[in-house]
Amino acid sequence: MPSVCFYFQVHQPYRIKRYSFFDIGNDHFYEDDEKNRVILNKVSEKCYLPANKTMLELIKKHKR
């Protein structure tokens, strides 16, 4: 039986924080790190982790 290799690529866009004209030259961090963290954790809990758990269960069930 041939081997199968699954390849998954996870992509989450960076969320940009509010950046005003007056921030130019004072703040060089454009991404909203807190919002990025919260959304990535939420998506991971709802999608990525359950999908990985299901695939692992199927691998164990079908022995390879």
Q: Is the dihedral of CA 51, 52, 53, 58 positive or negative?
A: positive
Tens-digit pLDDT profile for residues 16-47? 898 888 888 887 888 999 999 999 999 999 99
pLDDT: is 43 or 11 the higher one?
43
Distances from the Cα of 55 to the Cα of 1, 12, 43, 64, angstroms = 19, 21, 17, 11
Query: 8-26 burial by CB neighbour count: b if 16+ within 10 A, else e?
Result: eeeeeeebeeeeeeeeeee
pLDDT of residue 40: 93
Which two three-digit tokens encode residue 21? 């004209």
CA distance 14 to 37: 10
Q: What is the pTM of this model?
A: 0.68
